[in-house]
Amino acid sequence: MAEDKKQDEVPLVIEEQPLAEEQVSGAEEEDKAKESTLKETIQMIKESASEEDPKPSSQLNLRTILGGDLLTTEVVRSQIWLFVLIVAFSIVYVAFRYQCQQDMIAIDKLEQKLTDAKYKALSSSSTLTEKCRESHVLDILKQNQDSLLHQADQPPYIIEVPE
């Protein structure tokens, strides 16, 4: 096999023949024509390009951010997990803050209910105290003349019990 490859490999020898002057001048004319066409094409492209076309720049602007060009840079790609972590922490922060505000609103409502209940209990207690006073009870007994209860005429006396 190795011998077959050696036989297949034939050294390539190119002999350069000098070109005639006519052939050289024709080739030069073709090169000049190609160069002039290339220059004309470049000139037409420069003329067709206007200031309205966006110029590529390395500056950070809204178009590169919204267009997604920012995400293709190596700096962003290498730091993508940091950005994901920051976004996750931001979401957790906002969620906890919202939950804390909801808890504070619930606490305020419960404190208001507690204050209302205390005032209601105080008012009921004062009403009960007023109705249980001896003078008030006597007034009610006088209004209801059918009662046998009346105020004592004699002061109470102490009964001494010998031990």
Burial class (CB in 10 A: 0-12, 13-18, 19+), 153: exposed
Q: pTM to 2 decimals?
A: 0.40
Which residues in the chain come in under a pLDDT of 70?
1-26, 49-58, 147
Backbone phi and psi for residue 36, each to the nearest 5 degrees, phi listed first? -65, -40
The label of the residue with tokens 């209860």 reads 149
CA triple 140-143-145, angle to 5 deg = 110
* Rounded-to-integer distance, Cα 69 and Cα 63, Å: 8
Residue 52 CB: number of other CB atoms within 10 A? 5
* Rounded-to-integer distance, Cα 92 and Cα 99, Å: 10
Nearest Cα neighbor of 80 from 66, 90, 70, 95 is 70
Contact 123, 130 (CB under 8 A): no
- Give the model's pLDDT for residue 123: 96
| Token output for 58 | 């390395």
- Reported as a single tens digit per residue, the pLDDT across 28-64 is 788 888 888 888 888 888 777 665 645 555 677 888 7
The label of the residue with tokens 């507690």 reads 114
- Give the model's pLDDT for residue 3: 53
Backbone phi and psi for residue 148, each to the nearest 5 degrees, phi listed first? -90, -10
